[in-house]
Amino acid sequence: MLEIEIDGKAVQAPDGSTVMEAATLAGIYIPHFCYHKKLSIAASCRMCLVQVEKAPKPLPACATPVTNGMKVWTRSESAVKAQKAVMEFLLINHPLDCPVCDQGGECQLQDIAVGYGGNASRFHEEKRVWVNKNYGPLISSDACRCINCTRCVRFTAEIGGVQEMGQAYRGDHAEIMTFLGRSVDSELSGNVIDLCPVGALTSKPFRYRARSWELTRRRSVSPHDAFGSGLVVQTHRDAVVRVLPLANDELNECWLNDKDRFSYEALASEQRLTLPMMRRDGDNWQTVSWQIALEFIASTLRDVVKEQGGQAVGALASPHATVEEMFLLQKLVRGLGSDNVDFRLRRTDFRADAVRAGAPWLGMKVVDIHDLNDVLVVGSFLRKDAPLLCQKVRHSALRHGLRVHTVGPNAENWLMPMGTRALVGPTEMVDTLAQIAAALAKETGKTLSKSLAERAKGEPSEAALAIARSLAEGEKTAVWLGNLAEQHPRAAELHLWGQEIARLAGAAFGFIGEAANSVGGYLVDALPGAQGLNASEMIVAPRHAYILLGAEPDLDFVDGAATVAALARARLTVALTAFDSPGLRQAADVMLPLAPFTETSGTFVNCLGWAQSFNAVAPPRGEVRPGWKILRVLGNLLELPGFEYADSESVRAEALPADVAAKLNNAIGDVPAAEEIAPRAGSLQRVTDVPIHFADPLVRRAPSLQKTKDAAAPAARMSAATLAQVGVAAGDKVRVTGVGDPVELVAEADEGVAPGCVRIAAAHPTTVALGPFFGELTVERV
Amino acid sequence: MESEESQMSKSEFKPLSQEALRLIDREIAKYPAGKQQSAVMSALRIAQQEKGWLAPETIEEVANYLGMPPVAAWEVATFYNMFDLEPVGRHKITVCTNLPCMLSGSLHVAAYLKEKLGIEFDETTADGQFTLKEGECMGACGDAPVLLHNNHQMCARVSKDEIDRRLAEWRSQ
Amino acid sequence: MSAHALILPKFDGDGGDVWRLENYVARGGYEVLKKIVAEKTPAEAIIAELKASGLRGRGGAGFPTGLKWSFMPRSFPGDKFVVCNSDEGEPGTFKDRDILRYNPHAVIEGMIIGAWVMGCTRGYNYIHGEIFEIYQRFEAALEEARAAGLLGQNILGSDFSFELFAHHGYGAYVCGEETALLESLEGKKGQPRFKPPFPASYGIYGKPTTINNTETFASVPFVLKMGGEAYLALGKPNSGGTKIFSISGHVSRPGNYELELGTPFAELLQMAGGMRAGRKLKAVIPGGSSAPVLPADIIMDCTLDFDAISKAGSMLGSGAVIVMDETTCMVRALERLSYFYHDESCGQCTPCREGSGWLYRIVHRIEHGMGREEDIDLLRSVADNIPGRTICALGDAAAGPVKSFLKHFEDEFIYHIEHKECLVPPARQEDGFLIPDYVSRPC
């Protein structure tokens, strides 16, 4: 610790601190623009000039290291004179258009100008004019307001992973722009809006919607990926108009990914279901009262149970549903005598259920990623599946030399230095992990577990060997399984081998998790019981009645076509849904307007095992009701015991164990090896990703996000070699045939796809007909 | 004013020649492994020599060749004032007008060139032969007035006769 | 006579092959290096000699060279770099071009010795963009040195290895600032870095780096050859040795003159053939365009050394002497300099980015008859608000001329504002701008 004096106040600051950091610790504010605690130091705006004892001229607080005994004055005559001079320079070319600027009221320039600006301008020359840029559908540009602090430039390079923005030209022509006016395509792009200290970069969807002081701010939790970022949701006249990050250094820091930031637009979608609807005579849908809808459901469910038995009922929840909703759903179907309940709608291998010790989670804290030497990520589209988790990995890879290895059929650019990538087709993933485990055993002098020893066959591939060696060398290591690994037809074996590798390496072991409440679903036992059917079995062996919670049958299941068919055949399919959709109209008989996360209280358990509760930020639209209330009333109507909840807190109290952490456990027991069927000659293996902006019903309806590059229509992506193998050129229209109906897509070259594989995105209307995520496909030119 | 030739080069993009890439490789070899971005100025210079000017496509090609973000190469191309981001004539003449040259006749040199070529600074003759630019200090003030031909050939202590001779020589090239 | 020819060799005509290795060797070149390598002269001894010589950086700041070299961390395990700053673009300065043109091997030898002293494995010479032909010559000289075993692996058969390369700039004055030069060398915009950390601990690619001016490196072999004491004796206390003065503007024979430090200005003027066309001296900028201008009566009493010029209220800087005669309109002269700094500001720090353009626009208005009464105060105030508040000295350099021109020639500015025209009649100014009667050299 160093002892210094700032403005006459004794301050202690850790070694290596800057004057700015020391002042912040002491609660002393030094005006600044370019400085940002999460970005590299630019020291270029010069607003933070302060007087330092013995220094002949004022020094920038942001870049001046503290030395013991240093005396600093932030408001002395010399400091203030320098600060005022800088302020004048910043304002001479600034348009001073505060009345029409969205930043008004939350503008650093405006705020600091109050303290340091003059009353009148001495600048009588013509002001500089810059043309506004088009940064894409999310970021609005008012270039003339820019003060060249370069925070946005540094963000794209340092946090986003690739410099998308730059400061071109020089002198007072220096201008922030992208190359050739391209859009900013990072999935983290919206953060530059928060970083911009002036109104040069503002939110395009929020543009001119409201003034910041008119907004009501409430905390919430991201309903999208498993990372569960903290949100500040802002409303204007009961409508959500903006979402900002809730800063938390152990989670999302001060960042949000674009999905979390802009998905709120879907809340105003025309497809919002605001009244209960029922199918009448074929495809004719009518709005009905809650009473009619619920009584119809209750009586039909009763009939089904009476006639076919409880097991004729199946319940399928979206992993984006809350803890309270999932808990009540499983309680309801169990009350009806059914054990058929599941939330893992995109999973195909459920063998781990019989040998699972607890709820799968990341297996470590986010802050510990910082110190990792190696991480092996198996079967994951990490950058798009969990952008901020990926950012933590990127930070550590860039700053601390973390070696990032992957195994899987995809090797897209994660914008960070990568270790070894074993780019193998889905059918080779189990073997690759086995090879890594065997090589690792050799490297570490440990032995493979008995049951696995005989399964590890053949020589390890070069990549497997390199990964094993690196893991053996790393002191702190981790093994993570991603969504693709969990959706894999041999997911349980990948789990088993991942566990083995982690054991041999002394690594943390865990799952990235698919959705906001993937961990919560396990904790509340929204899972099939011993006699029950899992999500896949409920479709393969159709039920007479289904309750669908927050999921769309065509887009949220591993085989949308089969799911729609099974649900449509049932006597009753009840959908609790925030949106009306063609898929639901095809599959369901009753649609009940479900409150999205902004209109209900609830809890999500993220991949770190944090149970994060939130309250409604806006009143429900129309006749919309929170899910927990709908299920409570249904329970009451069905005269099931234990449905007398006064509020969501009492549901949560019953739903979640007192000690959540104790229930988190990634261990599994032995799973026998399945026979791997080698693909037929001439066919390709499908590789499936769930694109970031198609992943759940809310984001699919967010108009601005749907205009981004990340929301491009699915293509058939193959390596150049694979394209040549099937006689197709990039840009060709191709017919892709799997177990379902053929679909027509455009072929795209992508060296990040394993040889012999074709990557086709799911969760999109154009690819639903294809069938499940894995398996053989043929690709031919149309 | 833009020549037909340069208009054409705007629309038709051809990648850099093998010879240009070889020269760029030679520059890259000057820097430690992994630091090939250090060669970006040289690479852009070599590309500009071959193409006459730096089209955005050329800048991107150089960026990709060096494995750097295109916008970072764009920053470099826009920062250093000898890079031409617009088409220029076959002969770009840059006249230093800074103080020492001004004290030794550069304004007369500029005026004479403008008169002979019928163009102002930052303009190109209709035949696409000559572009006239105003330059900053070239570090040769003792030989003032100085001008630069196509960035690389310095003409020192230029007189009117010298200008006449040079223009004729360049025109005949 | 105080003229010397240490660094700039004597030659006739355009110099011919005077730059070549064989001629440098014939002049005694590389003897110092050979001796150091053969005798394994310890770094401390060389640094001590440099300190004794009083050699100060010739790029403008005048920092003692021996001291700078002693800052390099000796025990640093990785690569260390030595960099030569030949990015000479300050109006009035043109000495490095001649050094590289006529004596490139002196620079190379100086850099190799620097690498020996500081344990550097690699070096770069960053050469100003507009002198491509000089860059090519330096490349040729490097080839000669490599072929002769003076550069590369196992220099002169020893276990000492050092690689040296030329890096070509492409038009940015600010890259003459050493940390901007490093950024540029890394393939980025030339925007200066804030200090600390200094290049000696965090230089190119984050590695310890020492940067010296071309003339400084070229001086090193001569200092070591004649010995520190003898070199010091050539100049004055605190200003040891010889210095190349680049004289330009309204003199009869502009050019580079290598003089002992402390030579009277009047003597330099005389060597340069006196004032052109016998006109009267009005003002001199003694150390490159960033140095404050001095009126005739002050400069005529000055000797050319760091202390005397500083005492007179200016700086010796890089030794670039811009001479202006009575035909010069000081408003117009300042307008051109202000335009230069505005054009060359890197755009990073607010005061320089915004302030340099503001200054230029005000001076431009005054020059063009649109001056306002309050402009003089405004100019002074804006010029006061820039210096000392930016990362590098370009901000100070932009403000310096404004302040000194106003200090000594305020009446001309007032006249411009009041009369919307110049104190010096336009026709008279034209006289001063006339192309001097040089013999055109082939280029």
Domain containing B16: what range? Answer: 12-79
pLDDT value at residue A780: 95
pLDDT value at residue C440: 33
pLDDT bucket at B8, cuts 50 / 70 / 90 = very low
Chain C neighbors of A93, CB-CB under 8 A: 354
Q: Residue B65 falls within a domain, yes or no?
A: yes
Domain closes at, from B25, B49, B79: B79
Chain C neighbors of B30, CB-CB under 8 A: 124, 165-167
Cβ–Cβ gap A170/B78 under 8 Å: yes
Chain C neighbors of B137, CB-CB under 8 A: 89-93, 173, 289, 340
- Count the Cβ atoms, other than its own, within 10 Å of residue C200: 19
A100: Cβ–Cβ under 8 A, 6 or more apart, which residues?
none
pLDDT bucket at C436, cuts 50 / 70 / 90 = low
Does the pLDDT value for residue C442 go beyond 70? no
DSSP A660-702: HHHHB---B---PPPPPPPPPTT-EEEE----TTTSSHHHHT-
pLDDT bucket at C426, cuts 50 / 70 / 90 = confident
Q: What is the mean pLDDT of chain B?
A: 92
pLDDT single digits (tens) A693-717? 999 999 999 999 999 999 999 999 9
C428 touches chain A (CB under 8 A): no
Q: Residue B101 falls within a domain, yes or no?
A: yes
* Cis before C196 (ω within 30): yes
pLDDT bucket at A305, cuts 50 / 70 / 90 = very high
Q: Which amino acid is at C97?
A: R
Subunits adjacent to chain B (3 or more Cβ pairs under 8 Å): A, C
Question: What's the token pair of residue A478?
Answer: 């981790």
Residues B46 and B106 in one domain: no
Chain C neighbors of B36, CB-CB under 8 A: 187
What are the strands, taking DSSP E only, across C291-435?
A: 294-295, 303-304, 320-325
Q: State how beta strands A201-203 and A139-141 pair.
A: antiparallel
Between positions 165 and 194 of A, the ones with CB within 8 A of B are: 165-170, 177-180
Q: Which amino acid is at A313?
A: V
Residues B123 and B156 in one domain: yes
In this complex, the residue of A169, A170, A178 whose CB is nearest that of residue B71 is: A178
Chain C neighbors of A123, CB-CB under 8 A: 358
Residues B74 and B127 in one domain: no
Q: State how beta strands C255-260 and C242-249 pair.
A: antiparallel
Chain C's closest residue to B32, CA to CA, is C122
pLDDT value at residue A681: 79
Question: What's the token pair of residue C355?
Answer: 């302030």
pLDDT single digits (tens) A495-544? 999 999 999 999 999 999 999 999 999 999 999 998 999 999 999 999 99
Residues B135 and B98 in one domain: yes
Residues B31 and B66 in one domain: yes
pLDDT single digits (tens) A73-123? 999 999 999 999 999 999 999 999 999 999 999 999 999 999 998 888 999
Does the pLDDT value for residue C180 go beyond 70? yes
Percentage of residues in chain B having pLDDT higher than 90: 86
C434 touches chain B (CB under 8 A): yes
Does the pLDDT value for residue A727 go beyond 90? yes
Check: CB of residue A570 under 8 Å from CB of residue A544.
yes
Question: What's the token pair of residue A602?
Answer: 């609830």
Residues B96 and B68 in one domain: no
- Domain of residue B132, CATH code: 3.40.30.10
Measured CA to CA, the distance from residue B141 to residue C337 in angstroms comes to: 14
Does the pLDDT value for residue A234 go beyond 90? yes
Residues B23 and B63 in one domain: yes
Between positions 346 and 365 of C, the ones with CB within 8 A of B are: 346
Domain count across chain B: 2
Residue C122, CA distances (Å) to C66, C116, C152, C205 in order: 20, 11, 9, 12
Domain closes at, from B79, B99, B122: B79
Instruction: Report ipTM (2 d.p.).
Output: 0.94
pLDDT bucket at C441, cuts 50 / 70 / 90 = very low
pLDDT bucket at B2, cuts 50 / 70 / 90 = very low
Size of the A and B interface in Cβ pairs below 8 Å: 36
Residues B74 and B96 in one domain: no
Q: What is the mean pLDDT of chain A?
A: 96
Measured CA to CA, the distance from residue A193 to residue A431 in angstroms comes to: 45
Cβ–Cβ gap B80/C168 under 8 Å: no
Q: Residue B84 falls within a domain, yes or no?
A: no
In this complex, the residue of B56, B60, B71 whose CB is nearest that of residue A166 is: B71
Q: Which amino acid is at B133?
A: K
Does the pLDDT value for residue A286 go beyond 60? yes
pLDDT value at residue B3: 42
Residue C5, CA distances (Å) to C30, C51, C225, C228, C258 in order: 17, 22, 14, 17, 6
Cβ–Cβ gap A168/B78 under 8 Å: yes
pLDDT value at residue A675: 81
pLDDT single digits (tens) A31-66? 999 999 999 999 999 999 999 999 999 999 999 999
Cβ–Cβ gap B32/C122 under 8 Å: yes
Q: Residue B124 falls within a domain, yes or no?
A: yes
Does the pLDDT value for residue A424 go beyond 70? yes
User: Which residues on neighbouring strands pair with residue A217, listed in sequence order?
Assistant: A234
Check: CB of residue A317 under 8 Å from CB of residue A526.
yes
Among A412-416, A494-498, C233-237, where is mean pLDDT lowest? C233-237
pLDDT value at residue C235: 77
pLDDT single digits (tens) A760-778? 999 999 999 999 999 999 9
pLDDT single digits (tens) C374-384? 999 999 999 99
In this complex, the residue of A58, A65, A172 whose CB is nearest that of residue C353 is: A172
pLDDT single digits (tens) C129-165? 999 999 999 999 999 999 999 999 999 999 999 999 9
The distance from CA C327 to its chain's CA centroid, rounded to whole angstroms, is 27
What is the four-CA torsion angle of C159, C64, A61, A255, rounded to 10 degrees? -30
Q: Which of C209, C285, C440 has the highest number of chain B CBs within 10 A, making it the mutation to test binding with B?
A: C440
Instruction: Please name the residue that has the structure tokens 């607003």.
Output: A47
In this complex, the residue of C90, C320, C336 whose CB is nearest that of residue B102 is: C336
pLDDT single digits (tens) A604-662? 999 999 999 999 999 999 999 999 999 999 999 999 999 999 999 999 999 999 999 99
Q: Residue B2 falls within a domain, yes or no?
A: no
Does the pLDDT value for residue C439 go beyond 90? no
Chain A neighbors of B69, CB-CB under 8 A: 157, 162-164, 166, 179
pLDDT value at residue C429: 82
Residues B39 and B70 in one domain: yes
C368 touches chain A (CB under 8 A): no
pLDDT value at residue C437: 56
Q: Residue B4 falls within a domain, yes or no?
A: no
Would you give the DSSP letter of residue A120?
Answer: S
C129 touches chain A (CB under 8 A): no
Q: Which amino acid is at C98?
A: D
For A591: left if phi > 0, alpha if psi spans -120 to 50, otherwise beta; the answer is beta
Measured CA to CA, the distance from residue B9 to residue A612 in angstroms comes to: 59
Residues B120 and B60 in one domain: no
Question: What's the token pair of residue A134?
Answer: 């088009």
Measured CA to CA, the distance from residue A210 to residue A204 in angstroms comes to: 12
| Rg over CA atoms, chain B | 17
C127 touches chain A (CB under 8 A): no
* CA-based nearest distance B86→chain A, Å: 14
Measured CA to CA, the distance from residue A673 to residue C278 in angstroms comes to: 102
Does the pLDDT value for residue C443 go beyond 50? no
Residues B50 and B16 in one domain: yes
Measured CA to CA, the distance from residue A132 to residue B14 in angstroms comes to: 30
Strand order in the sheet with A2-6: A9-13, A2-6, A71-73, A49-52, A59-60
What are the strands, taking DSSP E only, across chain B?
A: 91-96, 123-124, 130-135, 147-149, 153-155
Q: Residue B1 falls within a domain, yes or no?
A: no
Cβ–Cβ gap A171/C347 under 8 Å: yes
Q: Residue B3 falls within a domain, yes or no?
A: no
What is the average pLDDT across A659-666? 97
pLDDT value at residue C173: 96
pLDDT value at residue B4: 43
Higher pLDDT, C2 or A693: A693
In this complex, the residue of B59, B69, B74 whose CB is nearest that of residue A162 is: B69
Cβ–Cβ gap C440/B161 under 8 Å: yes
- Domain of residue B19, CATH code: 1.10.10.1590
* CA-based nearest distance C356→chain A, Å: 8
Cβ–Cβ gap C440/B162 under 8 Å: yes
In this complex, the residue of C342, C347, C381 whose CB is nearest that of residue A148 is: C347
pLDDT single digits (tens) B84-133? 999 999 999 999 999 999 999 899 999 999 999 999 999 999 999 999 99
User: Which residues on neighbouring strands pair with residue A408, listed in sequence order?
Assistant: A423
Residues B36 and B66 in one domain: yes
pLDDT bucket at C428, cuts 50 / 70 / 90 = confident
Between positions 322 and 381 of A, the ones with CB within 8 A of B are: none
Cβ–Cβ gap C131/B140 under 8 Å: yes
Q: What is the mean pLDDT of chain C?
A: 93
What is the average pLDDT across A295-317? 97
CA pseudo-torsion sign B82, B86, B92, B95: negative
C342 touches chain A (CB under 8 A): yes
What is the average pLDDT across A157-185? 97
Domain closes at, from B39, B54, B79: B79
In this complex, the residue of C190, C336, C441 whose CB is nearest that of residue B99 is: C336
Does the pLDDT value for residue A370 go beyond 80? yes
pLDDT value at residue C3: 63
Subunits adjacent to chain C (3 or more Cβ pairs under 8 Å): A, B
Q: Which of A20, A46, A94, A177 has the highest number of chain C CBs within 10 A, making it the mutation to test binding with C?
A: A46
* CA-based nearest distance B148→chain C, Å: 7
A603 touches chain C (CB under 8 A): no
Cβ–Cβ gap C170/B41 under 8 Å: yes
pLDDT bucket at C427, cuts 50 / 70 / 90 = confident
Measured CA to CA, the distance from residue A702 to residue A203 in angstroms comes to: 14
pLDDT single digits (tens) A466-498? 999 999 999 999 999 999 999 999 999 999 999
